[in-house]
Structure 1
Amino acid sequence: MTDNTVEKQPLTLLGLGAMGTALARAWLAAGHPLTVWNRSPERARPLAAEGASVAGTVAEAVAASRLTVICLLDDASVDEALTGADLTGKDLVDLTTSTPDRARALAVRADGRGARFMDGGIMAVPPMIGAPGSGAHVFYSGSRALFDTHRDTLAVPAATSYVGEDAGFAALHDVALLSAMDGMFAGISHAFALIRKEDIDPVAFAPLLADWLVAMTPSVHTVAAQLADGDYTREVVSSLAMQVAGNATLLRTAEEQGVSAELLTPYMALMERLLADGRGDESTTGVVDLLAR
């Protein structure tokens, strides 16, 4: 056994779907002794050939290592899997996609069963895991001591960020970023729909759209600064009143092109509510407050 092998922390992984398998292979490639469990045992066979130890039960898998990482289908799968396992003295990290409140509830139950708990939000798809330079990232929240203990091991599959003792914060960061992504995809869909029936090559249009979105992204810093100091007139270039007036052109164009405006109108309606409140000289940051009420 080499010194390098001795330094590698053993761990257990529950769940061998596409993401779980990618995580497993990253830890195995880095030399970590790995115990795996999956409801369907056949998924574990390729990993056994690569050096993983396969546990027959969750209880056996959890008992094999101090650190257990969970990457299952959903919350119900996590609850079922952990039933009957002895969590006393264990460090539990749940990477299953979930909600902030669900993560907080699981943290309380883990603590009641003698375990330290941390939740994780994976900002990546399986091919990005373990791939240098891919941008794969995982948010972690919950026990700071757990994170400090296992930081190096957790950093093997993807870059890590610890975002707070509140176990729900990792999921909240994850969902907030994914929600912003969905909004961006909605705008992209509308833009392509506008040109869909015209003699405009979507492949040629794509770089223009991508560059425009990149140029607009620094606005998130202005919104953040306005939310922090409460001055929504700060650094306003295009006021709310101007943008509401401009919305009419967007809607007319959609109608002329035979394109539904249903992806745009909810946001526009919020802007009109702000304008009706006499806030035309502000930016659109006030929409955040309307949504958060």
Structure 2
Amino acid sequence: MSEQKQPVSVVGLGDMGAALALAFVDAGHPTTVWNRTMEKADRLVQMGATAAPSLVAAASASPLVVVNVTGGEVARGLLERAGDALAYSDVVNLSDGTAGDARRTAAWAAAHGVGYVHGQIETIPAGIGEPSSVIVYGGSAEVYERHRTTLDVLAGNGRLVSGDPGTAALFGMGIHSVMWGLLNGFVHASGMLTAEGVEVGTFLAGADVQLRQLHDFLGVLAAEIDKGEYAVPTSGLATHLPSIEDLLRQGEDVGLDNELVEVTRRWVARAVGDGHGADNYSRLVDYVRAG
């Protein structure tokens, strides 16, 4: 006899929500779906999901309700509308939003006796269900463990990182911040290189060792930031300024938008002016926090 899989309800059927629902269907979980515009459920119903006639019906159909909508405030509003229908369900909220959004939704859930975990998806819809995909969770360890096997359908690397639901949201936003910083730097470098007739692929091949060293350097910076200790014996912030100025002048020579580099110069120059020229790049976290 085949194992009976846990029923799941998925609220929100955008690109990501539909991918979540399809992963549950493919894994054999009885899956109930609901969306404000129910036309988005048609393909999932053809694949084996059940369309709920209302949000309340979806919320009461399964012991696990997975929410994926645009924005933390929207997610909480839907849970509030579902109200008592969630009395016998746990909620895993996979909607984007701030740490504050996640904590406010968790507080609402606690006040209404609803088990709650916030999850942050760190992949694109096509990555849902892949062994390499990542979802981090924050909130009730009891709720997470109760549904862990079901949630593992969504990502090969799902893990609870904190009892604080806001921490999961912070992990996601931290990845975005690093990602956009990296991508913006790469785009700026590409503009500079190609303006001078240098192929970007050639640059990457030649800079492979340095780029891998930069990745390893993040661990050094993290340790310094966590300890609040920034001093280094050589190559402090003051040594960065000439290179930053050279990069700005090169960008000006070929007509680049140098705003990204100008922000870097502003942070470094302020730190050096405040007497931190012998500190490592980790010192700049103080200037980011200060605004």
TM range (shorter): over 0.9
Is 1:110–2:109 an aligned residue pair? yes
In structure 1, the residue matched to 2:97 is 98
Q: Which residue of 2 aligns with 1:180?
A: 178
1:227 matched to 2:225? yes
Amino acid aligned to 1:17: G
Structure 1, residues 14-34: CA drift from partner, whole Å, max 9, x if none?
Answer: 011111111111111111111
Task: Provide the C-alpha distance between the structure 1 equivalents of 2:236 and 2:271, rounded to a whole number of angstroms.
Answer: 11
| One-letter identity of the residue aligned with 2:141 | R
Give the CA RMSD over aligned residues: 1.8
Deviation at 1:74, TM superposition (A): 2.5
Identity of aligned residues (%): 33
The aligned counterpart of 1:124 is 123
Q: Which residue of the partner structure matches residue 136 of structure 1?
A: 133
Matched pairs, number: 287
2:29 paired residue among 10, 32, 46? 32
- 2:260 corresponding residue in structure 1: 263
> Mapping of 1:148-227 within 5 angstroms?
148-158=145-155, 159-208=157-206, 212-227=210-225
Q: CA deviation at 1:207?
A: 4.0
Name the CA shift for 1:189/1:18 in 2 (closer, same or farther; >3 Å).
Answer: same
Deviation (angstroms), 1:237: 5.4
Amino acid across the alignment from 2:78? A
Range 194-203 or range 41-50, more displaced: 194-203
- Please give the TM-score of this superposition, normalised by the length of structure 2: 0.92
Provide the TM-score with structure 1 as the length reference: 0.92
Q: Report the Cα offset of residue 203 of structure 1.
A: 4.2
Equivalent position amino acid for 1:251 in 2? L
Following superposition, the deviation at residue 55 of structure 1 comes to 0.5
CA distance in 2, matches of 1:115, 1:207: 52
Whether the aligned pair in 2 keeps the contact of 1:58 and 1:85 (CA below 8 Å) is: no
Change (3 A) 1:221 1:75: closer
- Cα deviation for residue 229 of structure 1 reads 3.0
User: Unaligned 5+ residue runs, structure 1?
Assistant: none
Deviations 1:122-169 (A, max 9, x none): 10001111123xx31111111111111111111111121211111111
Q: Does 1:55 align with 2:71?
A: no
Is 2:231–2:279's contact at 8 Å kept on the other side of the alignment?
yes
More helix by percentage: 2
5+ residue gaps, structure 2: none
Cα distance in 2 for partners of 1:246, 1:201 equals: 22
Q: Distance in 2 between matches of 1:231 and 1:40?
A: 53
